[in-house]
Amino acid sequence: MIYLTMLICLISSILITPVVKKLAFVIGATDKPNQRKVHQKIMPRLGGLAIYISFVIGVFIYHPVSPFLLPNALKAIMIGSGIIIITGVLDDMFEISPKMKMFGQLLAASIVIFYGGIQVEFINLPFVNNRIEFGFFSVPITFLWIVGITNAINLIDGLDGLAAGVSSIAIITISGMAILFGNPFVVVMGAILLASTVGFLFYNFHPAKIFMGDTGALFLGFMIAVFSLLGFKNVTLISFIIPIIILGVPISDTFFAILRRIVNKKPLSAPDKSHLHHCLLRLGFTHRQTVLIIYAMAAFFGLAAIIFSQAKTLGSVALIVVLLIVIEIFAEKIGLVGKNYNPLLKIVRGIRYSTVKNR
């Protein structure tokens, strides 16, 4: 049944996207080119609505025959995602203020947390037979996770097919990990969302005919955040890192964007043209090459997450250390923070210079 549902979602997304494209022009949900944008003409940016409608179709088809779709959690996800979609549509049409966008995200997260009961309540500690109960802090931690990941996906939505492709890879990895952890709810929901997103990619990959806009980026970010919570809640500290690794591309890009603004003494909300995809474009890669490189990076993080989940505790710690070093060196090499920001590379050069001098 799930394969038939996925096929219906895929076809629905392919058929609905052109309709949404026309609607975007009618209601003024378009993206005009400027110095920060890569595209050179006015583009419709309501594509996320097609993903959402296809996803809803899939849920309503599969829900009556599935014992895996948890009633309260499912209702909370559908209500919360509806709020996110409304927020995204309004932003695509009128470019609402950051405060209004944040209000919509917090409201959606509230539904998921308080009505759906989806939150991280505790983690088990490695090496010692004990666990940390979050208690009152479980709610703010869950809020931070949902809002953070929602905006992280939004930040990487800068090239044709980039956010949709990276999100698809993350959904595949989360669903695969859910199979290993025995969570059929996340597997089913992830499969439906994946098919809906891939259908949209037919129109969104370079050269794009439509953008997903904030409608799509916020929706995918919200769903990925919730699915990762459902798949890995109340597990060990080591396992809790799995969704962070899976979302390594958007999380690291967001982290370095914050660091870049701090180093350059700019407001955290200040827009710039120094995100991961901008840096790769400046290095001479084409639009399509840049997207494919970032796809490969997302797949690398997904593979690392799977290896991480199967490794022993010491192996997991070693893998994290290696990943952090690789991310930092890569960020310094491409100038993700700035041309003059390369502390780790300076250390490496210093060690290399000392070694050569002592010979």
Structural domain count of the chain: 1
Alpha-carbon gap, residue 169 to 236, rounded angstroms = 24
Is 151 labelled a binding residue?
A: no
The answer on whether 214 is annotated among ligand-binding residues is yes
For 185, the domain range is 2-357
**pLDDT tens for each residue of the chain, 359 residues long:** 789 999 999 999 999 999 999 999 999 999 877 655 555 678 999 999 999 999 999 999 887 666 566 678 889 999 999 999 999 999 999 999 999 999 999 999 999 999 988 887 766 555 555 667 777 888 998 999 899 999 989 888 888 999 999 999 999 999 988 888 888 889 999 999 999 999 999 999 988 999 999 999 999 999 999 998 887 655 555 556 778 888 899 889 989 988 888 888 887 767 777 889 889 999 999 999 999 999 999 999 999 988 887 777 788 888 889 999 999 999 989 988 877 788 888 887 777 766 666 66
The structure tokens listed for 94 are: 């009128």
Q: Give one word for 67, left, alpha or beta, with left for phi > 0 and alpha for psi -120 to 50.
A: alpha
| Token code pair at residue 350 | 């210093």
Cα–Cα dist 159/285, whole Å:
13
Cα-Cα-Cα-Cα dihedral sign, residues 46, 226, 166, 332: positive
pLDDT tens column, 255-279: 998 888 888 888 776 777 788 988 9
Model pLDDT for residues 152-211, shown as the tens digit of each residue? 898 888 889 999 999 999 999 999 888 888 888 899 999 999 999 999 999 999 889 999
What letters, b where the CB count within 10 A reaches 16 and e where it falls short, cover 63-94? beebeebbeebbebbbbbbebbbebbbbbbbe
How far apart are the C-alpha atoms of 250 and 220, rounded to whole Å? 12
* Phi and psi, residue 118, nearest 5°: -95, 105
- What's the rounded Cα separation, in Å, for the pair 2 and 185? 12
Determine if the pTM surpasses 0.85.
yes
Give 171: exposed, middle or buried? Use CB within 10 Å, 0-12, 13-18, 19+: buried
